Structure 1
């Protein structure tokens, strides 16, 4: 059933009414190795966000305006975000880790009316001209008086206090109205602004309740800012550790373990890079996470070895729930670690990575691989089980469009017209297949396939070569030889293993290729010292960069 009007803040108001003194957010700070914590309960989070919503309105910032929010994870971040949602002001959330060039492009596309950021972000805005043509209001959050002066922005703390103590009247938006714009990280292409509605947020909250079993009163170690906002909306406390969320690989495991222990966190949201880092630290010290009852991993496929290592810290019955999706549609499917481990042999033999069954309300289909626009859905587009094609998803958490990106919307969205109206199917840009049990197997990005004398898919090909003892990871790329496209495998070696001769390794890789029908024909290999990967997940390989490198190396 379509949600007609909604606002994520309704859940915060409910929690403030029914469990006012319960912890809503705790933020860990580390100074010279000493940890401290700032806390706020549901009642005060609700009251303070009401106050800021009134102040923003009094300052001239009204419903429908767009506001870039560049504030580090903090109590201020939660108060501001909920204030923006309450007031119907559209937050634009960008990943600082996407790079200066991409950030500038995001501002140009989104045309924000308001910039709200810490002094460092405001200073960068002034120096680099972010949003110069559109921003009418600049607001500083925190910092010293000197920093605020340098940034040339008003301090949000110094905005006049609201003249009323009445609860703010939360703006309810229609199911298709813009509630927020979330920019993709750009790790698999140019960042795009995904239009979120409150109905999408509502669908994600319901999925976390029903499919993941999250209940009010839980406490979550929140390592990703966007997911941390769902905590208070679920009646769950968000515990924010002292770490750079854009670079999880740099996190100090001791800080995270301390936060989990102090607040007895029952839930954790971690990406594959952080899963690996914490698992390594736990293995070295034999650390146990006795309070944790659920671990959610998303962003990229976690390796089997990472899951096994991390699971040593968990109680035997606790699962790592591997979630598949994207900014445009999350979550789509889920795979418990116990079931994933049973697919190891299939994955190592090139069957792809199993990402589980669709969650409640989600429909997954596979269509032929094409770069053409598909304007309208027809069931005849669906491929049979076992056939690899592009993954297409439909569900209440699927976004309808990109912001000011009509061409990207046209290529990624398919209108599904039926007697109940029109819904949108999203083309994931990933390839895979459905098995006879309804489970989805992912075979890589559509753009990473290599069409030569036959079609090669990245994950099925790479996984069989990754079974070699000396191979840390591999990447399938295309190069041109005499005008013909041919597959080549870039290989990064495990630095902890003594390598055989290059000739012996080359022969081993050739033997592996010949054992499998889907890798036959791959007989060009190059050793790369250190693959370029995204900073957030440390798992998404920049194959485009490797392809350029490989082409140059082969010519030489």
Structure 2
């Protein structure tokens, strides 16, 4: 990609926002609906909805919410698939100054109950079925115990009947007729504060109980704008993703970011490579947002070469490291010109760093990026960026010198004010100056790029020596037969801990445990070579709803297998 073209695209975007508008999400969509009225903003397998239509429907849903009794700053829980109604509802909630609480559609009854209670949600909107889970049935069974929930509104999307206590979607939307434009305008006038909380988004729950991250309108918009600027979005960019809109990756890096350039988000509910390729071809996607497991499935699909993906030129793959072989195959198969990875997290809104457009594959594989440019959204004392990074000692919290390996800490106008109703957890990770301790281990190199070394708590110790799982994962992933690999530390009676590797092979390739051990021995010190190696199928990875591998589950699986093997040996 020509560097001049990249700068031209950035300049075009900066010229649209020479001064930061400092507005709410609803005000932003009102402006963009005027600017890009007839362009599509959301494209699904069944519909294409324009900016004007989304704004109009958002207003209608806002009126229905007012008539239902939802008031400013009340919490509205949403358990919905990535369908247009979910976007209409979120916009409606923001319009009246209430707070969205999007809930992972893969969660089960007790998990949902915990989030509803912990978040103080007074209202619940849901699909009858989402992600294969019978949410309407589950909620009906525990409704009597949900003392804080005033009303449940449900979209019926199966033949099964709805509980009589639920309000149907049609009845809810029809309520809008009873609220005038003046009433809505008065409500919007009282809800025009960008610094107020727009969403409470729960962390993925890869470890422990989820925590609700409080996120403001301003955080969302500054992060989305800086992402569009960092990746040099051209006018009208179309991004495909199968990631859920209840998570910040798709919401911020996708929907909100493309809205700054009059672009569109192409979505499907639930990932499957064939439907993904079909919709990308049909709607001429320019860009893809994904996690490594999705990218592996896309590039390895036997029919990938039969699709016309000539419009595609960019891809962002993040949330977990992807091996160099996957990136190389993605460039070759999808004919990509711009590849990107990034890093941030829910507590920092979404990605705070990206690799630069045009960075070589070696950089994309070994670094997660540099701090995104802020343009008019940035802070002068942060040299125009939205955040600052440093490394601290994981044990003492003391600042470390430049280039030192430590726990990454970030502060700025994209960083949350804390976890909802969890003051102790907030105090444990955010200090008096606003520095958020991420729990991630890494270093900042001389060019300002961050090198990730995994979660600080994922480090394991073998005979007194620390081992970073990512180092071992990188070596295993370089084997030509490997699609992806993850390593965890498990207890060991001799060396305190040892490594256990889970490996997914590429289709048509074979490898034995002995071959993998010998491969690791060529590149790793002896103590770093994993003692346990298991091969798994793509469907066997334990994942969160947003596609992250749950390492705590891998650790449980490894320890159970080791324990079971020990019992068999005792019997024999």
Answer yes or no: same fold by TM over 0.5.
Answer: yes
Kept after mapping to 2: 8 A contact 1:25/1:238? yes
**Residue 477 of structure 2 corresponds to residue 477 of structure 1:** no
CA shift, 1:76, in A, is 1.1
More helix by share: 2
- Counterparts of 1:521-532 in structure 2, within 5 Å, are 521-522=527-528, 525-530=531-536, 532=541
Partner of 2:66: 57
Give the corresponding residue for 2:4: none
The 1:14/1:491 distance shift into structure 2, 3 A limit, reads: closer
Asked whether the 8 Å contact 2:266–2:285 carries over to 1, the reply is: no
Which whole-Å CA distance do the structure 1 matches of 2:160 and 2:486 have between them? 49
Q: Distance in 2 between matches of 1:280 and 1:217?
A: 29
Structure 1 residues 206-239: Cα deviation after superposition (integer angstroms, max 9, x where no partner):
2123212235533322433224541674253434
Q: Does 1:359 align with 2:353?
A: no
Is 1:408 matched with 2:425? yes
Counterpart residue number, 2:410: 393
Per-residue CA distance 1:76-114 (angstroms, 9 max, x = gap): 111111000111111101112244443332122112000
1:458 to 448, 464, 469: 469
Moved more, 439-448 or 540-549: 540-549
Deviates more, 1:72-81 or 1:19-28: 19-28
Partner in structure 1 of residue 49 of structure 2: 40
- How far has the Cα of 1:391 moved from its partner? 0.9
Whether 1:426 aligns to 2:432 is no
Contact 2:214 2:416 in 1 (8 A): yes
Match in the other structure for 1:545: 556
Instruction: Work out which of the residue numbers 466, 483, 486 in structure 1 matches 2:497.
Output: 486
> Residues 548 and 170 of structure 1: is their aligned pair in 2 closer, same or farther, counting only changes over 3 Å?
farther
Deviation at residue 21 of structure 1 after TM alignment? 2.0
CA distance in 2, matches of 1:493, 1:23: 38
Show the counterpart of 2:393: 368
**Structure 2 SS opposite 1:447:** helix
Q: How does 1:128-207 map to 2 (within 5 A)?
A: 128-129=142-143, 132-143=146-157, 147-149=161-163, 152-155=166-169, 156-165=172-181, 168=185, 169=188, 171-172=190-191, 174-207=193-226
Q: For residues 328 and 478 of structure 1, do their structure 2 counterparts lie closer, same or farther at Cα, with a shift above 3 Å needed?
A: same
Rate the CA distance shift 1:476–1:139 in 2: closer, same or farther, 3 A: closer
Kept in 2, the 8 Å contact 1:173–1:198? The answer is no
Report how far residue 67 of structure 1 moved.
0.6
1: CA distance between counterparts of 2:189 and 2:40?
A: 22
Check 1:219–1:17 CA distance in 2 against 1; reply closer, same or farther (3 A cut). Answer: same
For residues 172 and 334 of structure 1, what CA distance do their matches in structure 2 show?
Answer: 33
- Aligned counterparts of 2:358 and 2:179: Cα–Cα separation in 1: 56
Q: 1:439 to 1:340 in 2, by over 3 A?
A: same
Partner SS for 1:95: coil
Partner of 2:140: 126
Work out which of the residue numbers 333, 348, 353 in structure 1 matches 2:353: 333
- Within 2, Cα distance between the matches of 1:139 and 1:402? 27
Secondary structure of 1:342's counterpart equals helix
Q: Structure 2 vs 1, CA of residues 493 and 306 (structure 1 numbering), >3 Å: closer, same or farther?
A: closer
Query: Which is further off, 384-393 or 146-155?
Result: 146-155
The 1-side partners of 2:297 and 2:529 are apart by 34
Distance 1:171 1:297, change over 3 A: farther
Task: Pick which of 108-117 and 229-238 moved more.
Answer: 229-238
| Alignment of 1:84 onto 2:93 | yes
Which moves more between the two structures, 213-222 or 400-409?
A: 213-222
- Whichever structure has more strand as a proportion of its residues is 1
**Cα distance per residue 1:395-414 (max 9 Å; x no partner):** 32111201112222122212
Tell me which moved more, 353-362 or 79-88.
353-362
Contact conserved, 2:30 with 2:55, CA < 8 A, in 1?
yes
User: 2:64 is paired with a residue of what secondary structure?
Assistant: helix
Any stretches of 5+ residues in structure 1 without a counterpart? Answer: 29-36, 348-352, 375-380, 417-423
1:378 alignment partner in structure 2: none
Corresponding residue for residue 446 of structure 1: 456
Cα distance in 2, alignment partners of residues 293 and 462 from structure 1: 28
Asked if 1 retains the 8 angstrom alpha-carbon contact of 2:502 and 2:533, the reply is yes
CA contact (8 A) 1:217 1:237 kept: yes
Whole-angstrom CA distance in 1 between matches of 2:38 and 2:290: 28
Deviation, structure 1 residue 72:
1.8
> Which whole-Å CA distance do the structure 2 matches of 1:340 and 1:101 have between them?
46
Alignment size in residue pairs = 511
Q: Return the alpha-carbon distance in structure 1 between the equivalents of residues 279 and 529 of structure 2.
A: 49
Cα shift at 1:204 = 1.3
Contact preservation (8 Å) 2:289, 2:316:
yes
Q: Which runs of 5+ in 2 are unaligned?
A: 1-18, 130-134, 246-250, 374-384, 568-572
What is the deviation of 1:468?
Answer: 4.4
Q: String of CA shifts for 1:39-86, please: whole Å, max 9, x gaps.
A: 322222212211221221122111111010112222211111100011
- Assess if the C-alpha contact under 8 Å between 1:219 and 1:236 holds in 2: no
Q: How many angstroms apart in 1 are the aligned matches of 2:444 and 2:86? A: 40
Task: Indicate if the aligned counterparts of 2:392 and 2:399 stay in contact, CA closer than 8 A.
Answer: yes
Instruction: State the SS of the aligned residue for 1:339.
Output: coil
In structure 2, how many angstroms separate the alpha carbons of the residues matched to 1:58 and 1:178?
22
SS in 2 for 1:97: coil
